[in-house]
Amino acid sequence: MSDYPNLLAPLDLGFTTLKNRVLMGSMHTGLEETKDWQRVARFYTERAEGGVALIVTGGMAPNKEGGVFPGAAGLFSDEDIANHKIVTDSVHAAGGKIAMQILHAGRYAYGKGCVSASAIKSPISPFAPTELDEEGIEKQISDMVTAATRAREAGYDGVEIMGSEGYFLNQFLVTHVNKRTDRWGGSYENRMRLPVEVVRRCREAVGEDFIIIFRLSMIDLIPNGSTHDEVVQLAQAVEAAGATIFNTGIGWHEARIPTIATSVPRAGFAWVTKKLMGKVDIPVITSNRINTPDVAEDVLSDGCADMVSMARPFLADSQFVAKAASGRGAEIAPCIACNQACLDHTFSGKLTSCLVNPRACSETELLITKATARKSIAIVGAGPAGLSTALTAEERGHNVTLFDGSDRIGGQLNYAKQVPGKEEFHTLIDWYETMVATSSITLKLGKRVTADELTGFDEVIIATGVKPRDPAIPGQDNAKVCSYIDILTGKVEAGDKVAVVGAGGIGFDVSEYLVHQGESTTLNRARWQEEWGIGDPEDQRGGLSPEGAQPEAPARLVTLLQRKNERLGRRLGKTTGWVHRAVLKMKDVEMIGGVNYESIDDSGLHISFGETRENPTLVEADTIVLCAGQLPERTLADALAAAGTPCHIIGGADVASELDAKRAINQGTRLAAAL
Ligand code: NAP
Ligand code: SF4
């Protein structure tokens, strides 16, 4: 029997059958906006070939006013329908099914002319919406119905109507945004009229044999959000109006509680979906932080849902289902929920990709083909850059030897995994270990290779990473000074008062590590919920606990410093930086910018402010941790240059500034694809 009997069981929808219980959730990739329809088709088709039962596209605007941003894609013309048909035909040819998401952003639309229930601006957009009148509401319904019928014409198997995450339909449901006194506002019956009407009219228009998924906000995580009883009341009305499946939405975008970040416990909200089970008769899908087949199987066998939705895991590995079904679950490239190449890109107007898999959304451009000539390739450094180069080169048929001075692979990932909330880095290193072990790569660990030993290879690749930058603070040879590596490897136990020099990604990580004590709350859902103030939506409106956030007391008094005179953490990930800042705030970390580091002595770190070095201040500290950024580690590259041996330099050894695993893996994969 399969390891995943629930996950791989078919789901009979009456007029059609889904081949398993896995839905690829909607993601805005930016691909549709490229208008390169072969590229869009290839992206979805690879996922269909990988065995996912049903794909939901990124959100398509039903009209101009409902688009997430000006120019957002939608089915507005016959040409659009023909283009989308390229995608649906290709997915069907691969044996897949695909539904189009209809996304009306309401007051989340990033542009003038946005509309909503009432003229109340959202905290995450500078644009105030116009309050719709009766005629305006009818137009929105009618445009959504038109989008559904056009989706059917374009060959889609169904639509997903976005009713969660604080978008347009969700905005009508809560008094937080809906202040109307007409038949679309006031009582809950009135407030839920719009989503029910949209589903009813869509069903009427598309006929019976067409999937309508309704994305239901099961926990709003905002003040004055819906209660669980209201969610159930809406669900039952939406079912009666003709929905085929419910998908779960968790939290409005304006909620100040993380819902998909890497520090969210795996399947951390499946318990919320479970509350709907048995209260409706159509299948229910759960979502959020489900990233392995084992987690998905557990969620289903616990009766939390009939199906699981995973979105980002299908960027990391298009073959997720096929690998799970063939007993190769350990070979699934894991989504580590970092958002670095997906959501951070989306919100910066860049095309989506994946830190772990740079081919995501570049399937027609980044081709990994068999090499015409088999080369012997030496790669020095088994961090993310070296590993991705080695695996890609080996996949292409090259003869690869991978060296590292350490006794384990992973490089800097081994430090990241020590940080509470970054446990997924263990998963990534485990995956690299599996993939190297199942490959023909010759792995030479504990081997500090010299330039002399690198002769005789066809290609030499230097991926030796980074070394910590020396901030050269007078007195830093004091015994209380150490590097972030000493802290994260446990070599140095910090004292009660700690000053952290440098507030980049690592300064933040180290501060989180230092204020934390005991088990990571990411591994303890109940504690994590308390920490963020998540309550039970059956008892509290919106699922916000009346006690608010209840963080544990900080393990140490930490002061985090930087020289730049700007908000600390401003350059962290666009969609996750706020989580890191909130954690440190909860733990009373003092954040000081605009400093000069004057000196270090037995009393602590002496700083001053501004160009005139005014306001001399002592930051009392038992331990001072240096996190002042990185420099390329090029000792070996320089020796090779001196010996006249040509080499490629990649990752941190190439450019250290703001190095991250995304750039390292992308660079390594692309180099290997071209060798
Ligand atoms: P970083 O992000 O470049 O930050 C370096 C910090 O050191 C800055 O705060 C900088 O601020 C300070 N600094 C630079 N030169 C200094 C000097 N001479 N003396 C004193 N301070 C100095 O580098 P990192 O923190 O080492 O992180 C490396 C990379 O790892 C990051 O860029 C990031 O991409 C990745 N990473 C990401 C995350 C994440 O959450 N996404 C987490 C960990 C690591 P001032 O110049 O203002 O003092
Ligand atoms: Fe997952 Fe990070 Fe890849 Fe996004 S970039 S899909 S969060 S691993």
Q: Give the pLDDT band of residue 2 (cuts 50, 70, 90).
A: confident
Please give the distance, rounded to the nearest whole angstrom, from the Cα atom of residue 358 to the centre of ligand 2.
10
Q: Are residues 580 and 433 in the same domain?
A: no
Q: Which two tokens stand for residue 370?
A: 């068999």
Q: Is the pLDDT of residue 658 over 70?
A: no
Please give the distance, rounded to the nearest whole angstrom, from the Cα atom of residue 236 to the centre of ligand 1.
51
How much is the pLDDT for 401? Answer: 98
Q: Are residues 143 and 25 in the same domain?
A: yes
* DSSP 8-state secondary structure symbol assigned to residue 478: S
- Sheet of 595-601: strand order equals 595-601, 604-609, 614-620
> Is 649 part of a structural domain of the chain?
yes
> Is 164 part of a structural domain of the chain?
yes
Q: Are residues 643 and 664 in the same domain?
A: yes
Please give the distance, rounded to the nearest whole angstrom, from the Cα atom of residue 564 to the centre of ligand 1.
11
pLDDT in tens, 334-387: 999 999 999 999 988 899 999 999 999 999 999 999 999 999 999 999 999 999
- In angstroms, the CA 169 to CA 654 distance is 48
Secondary structure of residue 277 in the 3-state scheme: coil
pLDDT in tens, 593-649: 999 999 999 999 999 999 999 999 999 999 999 999 999 999 999 999 999 999 999
Q: What is the pTM of this model?
A: 0.96
Q: Is the pLDDT of residue 231 over 70?
A: yes
* DSSP 8-state secondary structure symbol assigned to residue 451: G
User: Could you say which ligand is closest to the alpha carbon of residue 27?
Assistant: 2
Q: How many CB atoms are closer than 10 A to CB 437?
A: 10
Summary mean pLDDT of the chain = 97
Domain limits for position 405:
376-468+631-674
DSSP 59-96: EE-SSTTTSSSTT-----SHHHHHHHHHHHHHHHHTT-
- Active-site hit among 44, 108, 156, 167: 167
Q: Are residues 121 and 166 in the same domain?
A: yes
Q: Are residues 171 and 302 in the same domain?
A: yes
Please give the distance, rounded to the nearest whole angstrom, from the Cα atom of residue 289 to the centre of ligand 2.
11
Average pLDDT over residues 236-243: 98
How much is the pLDDT for 660? Answer: 84
Pocket test for ligand 1, best of 488, 572, 627, 662 (most atoms within 8 A of CB): 627
Our answer on whether the CB atom of 557 is closer than 6 Å to any ligand 1 atom is no
Determine the atom of ligand 2 nearest the C-alpha atom of 355. Answer: 5
> Is 244 part of a structural domain of the chain?
yes
Average pLDDT over residues 389-403: 98
Q: Are residues 138 and 169 in the same domain?
A: yes
DSSP H or E run through 596: strand 595-601
Query: Within the chain, what is the greatest distance between any pair of CA atoms?
Result: 82
pLDDT in tens, 240-295: 999 999 999 999 999 999 999 999 999 999 999 999 999 999 999 999 999 999 99
Determine the atom of ligand 1 nearest the C-alpha atom of 571. Answer: 2
- Catalytic annotation on 4? no
Q: Are residues 583 and 450 in the same domain?
A: no
Q: How many CB atoms are closer than 10 A to CB 8?
A: 20
CATH at residue 460: 3.40.50.720
CATH at residue 144: 3.20.20.70
> Is 414 part of a structural domain of the chain?
yes
User: Could you say which ligand is closest to the alpha carbon of residue 355?
Assistant: 2
pLDDT in tens, 486-540: 999 999 999 999 999 999 999 999 999 999 999 999 999 999 999 999 999 999 9
Which residues form ligand 2's pocket by a CB distance below 6 Å? 312, 315-316, 335-342, 354-356
> Is 278 part of a structural domain of the chain?
yes
| Cβ contact 319:363 at 8 Å | no
Q: Are residues 243 and 123 in the same domain?
A: yes
Q: Are residues 179 and 227 in the same domain?
A: yes
- In angstroms, the CA 271 to CA 291 distance is 16
CA trace torsion 349, 351, 352, 358 (10° rounding): -140
Pocket test for ligand 1, best of 343, 484, 562 (most atoms within 8 A of CB): 562
Q: Are residues 197 and 49 in the same domain?
A: yes
Residue among 229, 246, 303, 308 at smallest CA distance from 280: 246
- In angstroms, the CA 522 to CA 514 distance is 16
> Is 71 part of a structural domain of the chain?
yes
CATH at residue 511: 3.50.50.60
Secondary structure of residue 350 in the 3-state scheme: coil
Q: Are residues 339 and 449 in the same domain?
A: no
Pocket test for ligand 1, best of 579, 658, 666, 667 (most atoms within 8 A of CB): 658
Our answer on whether the CB atom of 413 is closer than 6 Å to any ligand 1 atom is no
Q: Are residues 216 and 301 in the same domain?
A: yes
Q: Give the count of domains, the chain.
A: 3
Average pLDDT over residues 540-558: 95
How much is the pLDDT for 659? Answer: 62
How much is the pLDDT for 447? Answer: 81
> Is 363 part of a structural domain of the chain?
no
595-601 and 604-609: which strand pairing?
antiparallel
Please give the distance, rounded to the nearest whole angstrom, from the Cα atom of residue 336 to the centre of ligand 2.
6
Q: How many CB atoms are closer than 10 A to CB 9?
A: 16
| Cβ contact 118:172 at 8 Å | no
Beta partners for residue 482, in sequence order: 625
> Is 6 part of a structural domain of the chain?
no
